[in-house]
Structure 1
Amino acid sequence: MKKIIFIVLVSLISLEGYGQENMQKKSEIRVGYGLIPVQEIGTMLGEGIFMGLLGREVEHSSGTGTFTAGYSRNLNKRLSIGIDGFYGKNTVSYKDDLGDSKWNVFGGLLNMQYSYLNKIKLKLYGKGGLGYAKFNNRQKEDRASFGALSYQFTPIAIRYGNKIGVYGEFGFGYLGIANVGISLKL
């Protein structure tokens, strides 16, 4: 009888240790960089279509992309909620005397993430978010600011790594069509 109790106790201890090893971390923080965010797409379209209609010719346009930081909290193995912040700027030079247009945008998104596959080192997921963006524009001495709805739709994303990992998110919105970075599970 003592042998059976001993085997049962050892088995239970082993199962508990195994369960703790596979337990998902509760939170994650991340920093990243987004390529071609929606605000830069708007600038490119505006250059070709709208400025042409107004008679303004674009000489040069450059943007920084979007710098991002975020935090998320797991609700269960598949679903998490979080917040993402972003910042980017762009400069458009025109071939006229009205001057260059320089703008920056910053804001935040509340998001929800769904994991298609959630292994210890590999995670495939999608996410979507809505929030607020603040635009600041300067052209010569004129300054303008306005707010807008910010959004991000990311149907395909991947994260690789255990506690520290790298990620790539592919979608459309204020975080860019491709957002890559480093994340830390807490």
Structure 2
Amino acid sequence: MIMICLIALAQLKGYGQEIPQRKSEIRVGYGLVPVQEIGTLLGDWITMGIVGRRVESTEGTGAISAGYSLNLTQRFSVGIDGFYGKNTVRYKDDLGDSKWSTYGGLVNAKYLYLDRGKLNLYGKGAVGYAQYHNRQKENSDNFGALSYQASPFGIRYGNKIGVYGEFGFGYLGIANVGVSFKL
């Protein structure tokens, strides 16, 4: 009888030994060449070329971002991201430089393609709102716009603390890299 009980106990899965799946994640990242920099560059080069202004140089900070996600299932999560970036366009005339700043938020959804413990491959999409502020000498202009991010390929490496890279197009950049913390 004792032998049968020991064999039965040996067949049970040891749930106490498994690492529980973390339910949420906090991210801090930096995005290279966000869409607002591409838009500023293309808009100023094309539009200003038509009206006769010549662009001397364009500089941008990229997109600084922070976010939070909540796992709804083992493969699907939803969350929010906030972003901020600055651009400066210098012209070859006396009318003044154009200084842009952009900030906003995104609601995102992420799908986990592959979960190999420390290594995760995923895709992510987001939509939200962006607020633009432009200053040129004494003139100032504010307006809002739809913000978005499509990152069909993302990779994260690490357990509780990890590093990630997301590649796509939108307000978080064509490449967004950072650190994430699973809670």
TM range (shorter): over 0.9
Contact 1:122 1:160 in 2 (8 A): yes
Contact 1:87 1:107 in 2 (8 A): yes
- Give the equivalent residue in structure 1 for 2:144: 147
User: How far apart are the structure 1 equivalents of 2:64 and 2:11?
Assistant: 49
Q: Percent identity?
A: 67
Aligned-residue offset at 1:95: 1.2
Q: Which has the higher helix share?
A: 1
- Give the equivalent residue in structure 2 for 1:95: 92
- Give the equivalent residue in structure 2 for 1:170: 167
Listed as ranges, the matches of 1:93-132 within 5 Å are 93-132=90-129
User: For structure 2, which runs of at least 5 residues remain unmatched after alignment?
Assistant: none
User: How far apart are the structure 1 equivalents of 2:173 and 2:29?
Assistant: 11
Q: Which residue of the other structure, out of 14, 31, 37, is the alignment partner of 2:28?
A: 31
User: For structure 1, which runs of at least 5 residues remain unmatched after alignment?
Assistant: none
- Give the equivalent residue in structure 1 for 2:2: 2
**TM-score of the aligned structures, taking structure 2 as reference length:** 0.96
User: How far apart are the structure 2 equivalents of 1:129 and 1:96?
Assistant: 39
Spell out structure 1 runs of 4+ moving beyond 3 A.
none
Q: Which residue of the other structure, out of 174, 178, 182, is the alignment partner of 1:181?
A: 178
User: How far apart are the structure 2 equivalents of 1:7 and 1:72?
Assistant: 42
**TM-score of the aligned structures, taking structure 1 as reference length:** 0.94
- Give the equivalent residue in structure 2 for 1:71: 68
The alignment of Structure 1 onto Structure 2 pairs a total of residues equal to: 183
Superposition RMSD on alpha carbons, in Å?
A: 1.2
User: How far apart are the structure 2 equivalents of 1:134 and 1:48?
Assistant: 22
Aligned-residue offset at 1:4: 2.1
Could you say what secondary structure the match of 2:14 adopts? helix
Letter paired with 1:2? I
